[in-house]
Structure 1
Amino acid sequence: MEERLIKEKMEAYKDIYSQLYSALKWKADKRTLMLIAGMYVSTSKEFHLKRYLDIADYIKDNVGAFSYLKSTQRFSIAATLDTTTDDPKTNFHRFIAIYEKLIENGFSRNAYSYISASTLLKVKPIRIDEIIQKTRDIYKGMKRHHFFLTNAGDYPLASILAQCEKNSEEIVSNVEEYYQVLQEKGFSAGNDLQFLSHILALNSEYRPDEKAEHCLEIKELLDNSKQKTKRVYYPYIGMLSFLENRESEINSLLMINEDLNRDKLFKWNKEINFMMSVLLLMSAMTAIGDAARTGLSISIETLIQAQQAAMTASITAATVAASSSNGNT
Structure 2
Amino acid sequence: MREELRKRCELFVENRDIIKSAFAWESAYVYPMCSGILTARGVRADTQRLMECRDILKANTGVFSNFRGVSRLAVIATLSLNADAGLMMAQMLELYGKLKEFFWGSEYLTVAAATIAEMAEPSGYDEIINKTSSIYNRMKTAHPFLTSGEDSAFAALLAMSELDDSCIEREMEQCYSILKPYFFSGNSVQSLSHILALGEGSAEQKCRKALEIFDALKARGLKYGTGYELATLGVLTLLDVDRNLLIQDITDAEAFLKGQKGFGAFGVGSRQRLMYAGMMASCDYVPDLHSMQTAALNGVVALVIAQQAAICASAAAASAAAAASSSGS
Give TM-score, length-normalised by structure 1: 0.89
Describe the shift of the 1:66–1:133 C-alpha distance in structure 2 as closer, same or farther (beyond 3 A): same
Query: How many Å separate the matches in 2 of 1:109 and 1:279?
Result: 28
Contact 1:60 1:69 in 2 (8 A): no
- 1:224 aligns with 219
Pairing of 1:306-325 with structure 2 (within 5 A): 306-325=306-325
Query: How many Å separate the matches in 2 of 1:219 and 1:320?
Result: 26
Query: How many Å separate the matches in 1 of 2:3 and 2:133?
Result: 43
Query: How many Å separate the matches in 1 of 2:9 and 2:225?
Result: 24
Describe the shift of the 1:297–1:71 C-alpha distance in structure 2 as closer, same or farther (beyond 3 A): closer
Query: How many Å separate the matches in 2 of 1:327 and 1:249?
Result: 40
- 1:157 aligns with 154
State how many pairs are aligned: 314
Describe the shift of the 1:181–1:117 C-alpha distance in structure 2 as closer, same or farther (beyond 3 A): same
1:146 equivalenced with 2:143 (yes/no): yes
Query: How many Å separate the matches in 2 of 1:302 and 1:23?
Result: 30
- 1:119 aligns with 115
Aligned pair partner of 1:258 in 255, 260, 272: 255
- 1:192 aligns with 188
Pairing of 1:25-174 with structure 2 (within 5 A): 25-26=24-25, 28-83=26-81, 85-104=82-101, 106-121=102-117, 122-174=119-171
Shift of 1:90: 1.5
Residue 266 of structure 1 aligns to a residue whose secondary structure is: coil
Shift of 1:154: 0.6
Shift of 1:152: 0.5
Query: How many Å separate the matches in 2 of 1:130 and 1:170?
Result: 18
Shift of 1:200: 0.7
Query: How many Å separate the matches in 2 of 1:234 and 1:74?
Result: 23
Query: How many Å separate the matches in 2 of 1:178 and 1:149?
Result: 15
Residue 30 of structure 1 aligns to a residue whose secondary structure is: coil
Q: What does the per-residue CA deviation read over 1:94-137, in whole Å, with 9 as the maximum and x for residues that have no partner? A: 11000000001x21111011011011012111111111010001
Give TM-score, length-normalised by structure 2: 0.89
Contact 2:224 2:271 in 1 (8 A): no
Aligned pair partner of 1:242 in 238, 245, 261: 238
Describe the shift of the 1:25–1:189 C-alpha distance in structure 2 as closer, same or farther (beyond 3 A): closer
Describe the shift of the 1:321–1:187 C-alpha distance in structure 2 as closer, same or farther (beyond 3 A): closer
Q: What percentage of residue pairs aligned between the two structures are identical?
A: 29
Contact 1:240 1:246 in 2 (8 A): no
Contact 1:9 1:284 in 2 (8 A): no
- 1:292 aligns with none
Shift of 1:297: 5.5
Name the aligned partner's letter for residue 63 of structure 2.
Answer: A
Name the aligned partner's letter for residue 63 of structure 1.
Answer: T
Shift of 1:165: 1.3
Shift of 1:326: 4.6
- 2:291 aligns with none
Q: Unpaired segments of 5 or more residues in structure 2? A: 289-296
Describe the shift of the 1:188–1:70 C-alpha distance in structure 2 as closer, same or farther (beyond 3 A): closer
Moved over 4 A (4+): 324-328
Shift of 1:56: 1.2
